[in-house]
Amino acid sequence: MKKFLTILLSIVVIISFSACSDKSNSVNSTNNAINTSDNTGNKSNSIKHNENLEKIAVEFVNELSKGNFESAYNKFGSSFKKAITLKKLKETWATASTQVGEVNNILGTRTEHDDKFDKVFVTCKFDKTTLDIQVTFDKDKNIVGFFFVKTKIIPKSNKNNIDDESKNIFYEKEVTIGAGEWALPGILTIPKGKGNFPAVVLVHGSGPNDRDETIGPNKPFRDLAHGLASKGIVVLRYDKRTLVYGKKMLKLKKGITVQTETIDDALLAINLLRNRKEVDKSKIFVLGHSLGGSLLPRIEQQDSNIAGLICLAGSARPLEDFFVEQYTYLFSLDGKITDKEKDILEQTKKDVEKIKSLDVNNYDTNEILINVPAGYWVDLKQHNIAEIVKKSKKPMLILQGERDYQVTMKDFQLWKKLLSNRKNVEFKSYKKLNHLFMEGTGKSSPNEYYIENHIPQYVIDDISNWIKK
């Protein structure tokens, strides 16, 4: 099945789908139960009220999954109808279906309340993942918003634990990145020993990622942290701001950009390492994956004391260039592109053209392109990665999986073209690896992201050997 939640394309769901997740929706939540009652007011009335809302929410999801968009649209309140047209509702659902597949089953519901809204979370099993559809109601039981958020039902996995052998090699310590309204939970993986170790900050790809960059049963950042710590390197990883504060970020007056989404917190993480007694302050490196790898030159621009940059499946091309490529690849996996998929491609091509033509000094701040505000694209246009990296003098290690269809060997070759005259830049590609730097055979597909795997030891060795040179 070709429909899934991509890593790079998950930027699509930052705003439209996932952005209303907050700390209560963190993937690290230990509350895995589905319930239909709360602890406020009269319990009997509360349960009845919740059940009524949950019935409406389930009906709404069922209408969407069956393609009955007019019926679903009629459940919207008047204010929400002003914000989203029937056509936009159809396009939004089509895009989501392309990424995660069709709804196979509704697993349950739960309800949360605040001062203004009731929120029903309908837990849905899609073709390629399990997500909650958060349906938000006003006091009149009208739907005033819906979002895709990570479910609180977390599959149990032994990968969350340090095995007995590793406990003799390294330990982990919970930390906080930054302070105040944007403070983020993180974790340090520290080798046992005297200290003065080299250190690495891990910077996520696009979308509201947790500290492990979890997708399905796989946790590539956990693999990197444990692997590198076993080699005597301190590693810092943390939950991304769009995961912890998604709803609050929607209210930013200047809108969301990669600066607020990613770069600011990466800089704070670097500073945290500088204040750790276990860390050699002259040997702090930054490792970025996917979009995080692409942003490394911008991070270095704002902190010239970084020792070096490690890019895993990053690109120096404009972000908008990937959408048509990835959609075309995914739609072609079954050998046929349907009319529905052709329509999505055509609309995406039009949006990409609009992004290319945006006037950075005169644009509509309310315009949404590929489900992301125009200001996000304008910020990217104003910071050309290919030009920025040419001015960098920092050591770089650029790694690429040859089976990666999200960021491809074309991007790897572009890095070589841009940096071939630099003696302190090393390049290496791996024949068997995909976008997660995990092994597979044949043509890569989304299915392998949902099969438990790990980053191979030879990748860990290459990174640690480069850091210790």
Report the mean per-residue pLDDT for the chain: 85
Q: Of 188, 148, 191, which Cα lies nearest the Cα of 172? A: 188
Catalytic, 49? Answer: no
pLDDT digits (tens, 9 = 90+) for 184-221: 999 999 999 988 999 999 999 988 899 999 988 899 99
In single-letter form, the type of residue at position 338 comes to T
What percentage of the chain's residues is helix, strand, coil (to nearest 5)?
Answer: 40, 20, 40
CA separation for the pair 379, 385 (Å, rounded) = 12
For residues 81 and 127, the model is more confident at 81
User: What is the CATH class of 30-150?
Assistant: alpha beta
Structure tokens at 209: 């990622």
According to the model, what pLDDT value does residue 30 have? 26
Percentage of the chain beyond pLDDT 70 is: 87
Out of 20-29, 51-60, 256-265, 309-318, pick the least confident. 20-29
According to the model, what pLDDT value does residue 8 have? 31
pLDDT digits (tens, 9 = 90+) for 416-434: 999 989 999 999 999 999 9
Q: Of 463, 415, 464, 409, which Cα lies nearest the Cα of 433? A: 409
Mean pLDDT of 135-161: 72
According to the model, what pLDDT value does residue 405 have? 96
Name the helix (H) or strand (E) containing 109: strand 103-113
Q: Which residues are registered as beta bridge partners of 112?
A: 119
According to the model, what pLDDT value does residue 236 have? 99
Residue 290 CA to its chain's centroid (Å):
10
According to the model, what pLDDT value does residue 161 have? 60
201, 212, 228, 232, 239 from 198: Cα distances, Å: 11, 20, 10, 8, 22
pLDDT digits (tens, 9 = 90+) for 258-286: 999 999 999 999 999 999 999 999 999 99
Catalytic, 435? Answer: yes
Question: 89-103, 128-142, 255-269 — which one is most confidently predicted on average?
Answer: 255-269
Query: Residue 442: pLDDT above 70?
Result: yes
Contact 112, 121 (CB under 8 A): yes
> What secondary structure letter does DSSP report for 283?
E
Contact 355, 370 (CB under 8 A): yes
**The model's pTM:** 0.73
Helix residue ranges per DSSP H, 335-419: 339-356, 374-382, 385-391, 409-419
CB-based contacts of 236, cutoff 8 Å, min separation 6: 175, 186, 187, 188, 189, 199, 200, 201, 202, 269, 272, 273
Percentage of the chain beyond pLDDT 90 is: 58
Under the banding of pLDDT at 50, 70 and 90, the label for residue 304 is very high
Contact 458, 13 (CB under 8 A): no
According to the model, what pLDDT value does residue 293 have? 98
pLDDT digits (tens, 9 = 90+) for 358-391: 999 999 988 889 888 899 999 999 999 999 999 9
Q: Of 18, 50, 266, which Cα lies nearest the Cα of 149? A: 18
Mean pLDDT of 292-305: 98
Mean pLDDT of 28-44: 34
Point out the catalytic residue in the list 265, 435, 454, 464.
435
For residues 103 and 175, the model is more confident at 175
Q: Which CATH number fits domain 158-320+375-467: 2.40.10.170, 3.40.50.720, 3.40.50.1820, 3.40.430.10?
A: 3.40.50.1820
Mean pLDDT of 252-262: 87
Query: Residue 44: pLDDT above 90?
Result: no
1, 42, 117, 173, 264 from 238: Cα distances, Å: 31, 40, 30, 12, 13
According to the model, what pLDDT value does residue 97 have? 80
CA separation for the pair 89, 250 (Å, rounded) = 19
According to the model, what pLDDT value does residue 33 have? 28
Catalytic, 118? Answer: no
Point out the catalytic residue in the list 212, 264, 265, 404.
404
Point out the catalytic residue in the list 18, 97, 206, 290.
290
According to the model, what pLDDT value does residue 34 have? 28
Query: Residue 305: pLDDT above 90?
Result: yes
Q: Which residues of the chain form CATH 3.40.50.1820?
A: 158-320+375-467
39, 159, 181, 326 from 332: Cα distances, Å: 50, 33, 44, 10
Helix residue ranges per DSSP H, 215-338: 220-229, 241-244, 246-249, 258, 264-274, 291-294, 296-301, 321-331
Mean pLDDT of 83-112: 84
Q: Of 124, 123, 96, which Cα lies nearest the Cα of 111? A: 123
Strands 197-203 and 234-238, bridge-based pairing: parallel
Q: Of 316, 323, 288, 317, which Cα lies nearest the Cα of 406? A: 323
5, 246, 291, 329 from 343: Cα distances, Å: 19, 30, 27, 15
According to the model, what pLDDT value does residue 48 have? 56
Under the banding of pLDDT at 50, 70 and 90, the label for residue 229 is very high
